[in-house]
Amino acid sequence: MQMDILWFLIVGVIAGWLAGVLVKGGGFGILGDMVVGVIGAVLGGFLFTRFGVSAGGGLLGSIIVATIGAVILLVVLRLFRRR
C-alpha cells in the first residue's frame, strides 16, 4: 500500500516535470510538478480508459499516460488563464 502511493507520487513528479517542459518550457518545482502530475495521471487514466486506449503497462506506460494527462491539464488551464 505504501509503495503504491510512493510509486504514484514518483510517476506524478516525473509526469508533471515532463508536462511542464513540453508545455511551458520548464518545471514548477517538485511540489508543483507532483500536483500537476498526479492530477494529470488521474485525468490521463480516465481519458485512456474512456477511449479504450492503452499505453502498455508498467512504469513507462504509467508515465506516458500521466504525462499526456498533465499536458492536457496544462493546456486547458492556460486557455482559461488567458481569458
Instruction: List pLDDT tens digits, range 64-83.
Output: 999 999 999 988 887 887 66
In order, the DSSP letters of 4-21 are: HHHHHHHHHHHHHHHHHH
What pLDDT score does 20 carry?
87
Q: What predicted TM-score, i.e. pTM, was given to this entire model?
A: 0.86
Instruction: List pLDDT tens digits, range 2-51.
Output: 778 888 889 989 998 999 888 875 667 778 888 888 999 999 999 999 99
Q: Rounded to an integer, what distance in angstroms lies between the CA atom of residue 60 and that of residue 55? A: 8
